[in-house]
Amino acid sequence: MRTQAWGGNLRCLVAGMLLVAGSAQAGQKQVGGVHMPVSLNLKGRTVELAHMELHKQLFFKVYVWSLYMEDRPRSTHEAINSNSVKRLHFHFLRNISRDQLVGSFRDGLEHSPALRRGPLANHLSIMLASLKDVQKGEDLVITYTPGVGLEVGGDASGGVFIPGKHFADALFSVWLDSHPIFPR
């Protein structure tokens, strides 16, 4: 009799623990062992997780990137041109030197002619100068806020602010063109 009562209590305890663990993960999505919230409140606005993806180099897991958007776009063009809060969040799964990080960004972003010269090239240099060595588990967060500009922060950056929308549009354009997640 006592064994049955103990077994019933144990089942209740295990079920309760599973319920608590499940509710802790309920508002999150997981990719590559990284958990990200499905929505965030940024500067009084709610942004939703639009995409999350693991990036590998050869067979090494390098980072998980997430895209948050205030308005759910129907196309890449709409995602880039919408004047709403957008965030790219990189969570690094390995140590990366500053030179590797800068080189990777430079290689990817210089596909845009607008980022190779003129004022946007200067903004790119400012952003790249803010980048630092990254340790496993650290983040780089790039957020565009309408009417304000682009903020680069997290552990992987010394923090920098670039006013206006033009540089943000160029950056998100290059990223979304090379990582197609919306219809064209």
Burial 51-76 (b: 16+ CB within 10 A, else e): bbeebeeeeeebbbbbbbbbeebeeb
- The angle formed by the CA atoms of residues 133, 134 and 140, to the nearest 5 degrees, is 115
Residue 68 shares a structural domain with residue 6: no
* Total number of domains in the chain: 2
Q: Which domain holds residue 102?
A: 32-178
- Report CA 73 to chain centroid distance, whole Å: 17
pLDDT at position 25 is 57
The answer to the question of residue 142 being in a domain is yes
pLDDT at 23: 40
CATH classification at residue 162: 3.50.70.10
Same domain, 94 and 174: yes
Give tens-digit pLDDT for 57-98. Answer: 898 999 999 999 998 888 888 888 889 999 999 999 999 999
What pLDDT shows up at residue 95? 97
Is 183 inside any structural domain? Answer: no
**Quick one: 7 and 48 in the same domain?**
no
Residues 112 and 150 in one domain: yes
State the number of CA atoms in the 13 A half-sphere of 34 facing the CB. 24
**pTM, whole model, 2 decimals?**
0.83
**CA 55 – CA 94 distance, rounded (Å):** 11
Over residues 13-31, the mean pLDDT reads 58
